[in-house]
Structure 1
Amino acid sequence: MKAFVRPDAPSDSGFPIAKAGYPFIFVAVFVTAIAALSGWHWLTGLGLCASLFCFWFFRDPDRLIPADPNAWVSPADGRVVVARRVETSPYGEGPAFQISIFMSVFNVHVNRIPFDGMVREVRYQPGRFFNANLDKAAKENERNAILIETPSAVKFWTVQVAGLVARRIICKVQEGDRVSRGVRFGIICFGSRLDLYLPPDFECLVREGDRTLAGTTTLGSLK
């Protein structure tokens, strides 16, 4: 049986909500209340559905991470759509191992750090809003790329990519920050993907089609 540890302190709430969701939840609840007081039943029903969806979408459950210090963990909940060695990446010369995880609107959208290290660069790139499930989304969509250097001087990129519906990428880390495996670092609102560009000799344990949980699922390790 695998051993797990907590990457951070547990939440005080039984149903934790990401702070980025507060404005959306407030607006949905406010509109619902006004509609109910005004007797607009159809709008009240619509507002109630929107409120419940916002509560569900912005859920931020606590997670346990593998105790193995060499395990690289998933940065996102979702489905693996790419897990292969590529000859070039958008963020450097030479080959890399790419892992891409697609997050539908039904997945938790809070992003977590894959491995311990220091943030060396944060690079935001405006772009299009193609379906995040498509390969061209990695190069053409709005995205935020984070370069992290591990204690053993291995560098890798974690890229938040906006999707067809997503219109807001939130990143809480900046250059010079020290980060730890499994700790929250951002969120993308309403459907998106996470791309990892790792060293080409990365030993990947997931395959395309696999489902992942941010912080909990082990993606693999370095040789």
Structure 2
Amino acid sequence: MKSPKDINVLIGCETSGAMRDAFLARGFNAFSCDVLPADTPTNRHIQDDVRRVMHEGRWDLLCVMHPPCTRLCRAGQRWLYGPNKSHPKKLPKGRTWADMIAEFDEACALFEDCLNAPIPLRVIENPVMHKWAKERICDLPTPQIVQPWWFGEKAFKATGFYRMGGLPGLTATNKLTPPKHGTDEYKRWSAIFRAPPGPNRWKIRSKTFQGVADAAAHQWGNHALKVAA
């Protein structure tokens, strides 16, 4: 029977190490991977394109991918309408509509590559997608939508987990009661969406909460051990 240390886990498109470290804490042989360096020094991060790393052959069972969602989520839909009078919203500084379309195409391609990674058990994390992304990505499974407050985190962030290979949905571990809309506490829970513009806004909005990562490592890790038995 395999133990956690015998299972190589790839955490794609992650620099924070939150999901990687949660699997490491459970004893799995986990590595994160991204074209950017890790946020903190570690020998458990592979700085490379995940589309190359996923084909190395050593990831024999499980991967959790976090491809960029900026052009796929509902908040990014407004940039794809094109320059017309019905949608006069200004594009980001220095960007063109062609840039937005090209980035959307690349985001869809990367998501599909992660979805079809040659690894038996796969999870791809993204927020709720807009209609064009859903139409564009082939064989898109229905995601499980979770909230951090299901796992003891005082925060709102609807997160979709697209699961392949028979992985079960996550079960809530410590469901909190959300505060009433309009209260100061509600605003604090909404910090992810209220993040101010700036170069690090994407990193703030892509935060993986510890409670979610711990639940994923425990529940999906246990499922992987059963499959490997």
In the superposition, the TM-score normalised over structure 1's length comes to: 0.28
Instruction: Say which structure is richer in strand.
Output: 1
Q: Which has the higher contact order (CA 8 A, sep 6+)?
A: 1
In the superposition, the TM-score normalised over structure 2's length comes to: 0.28
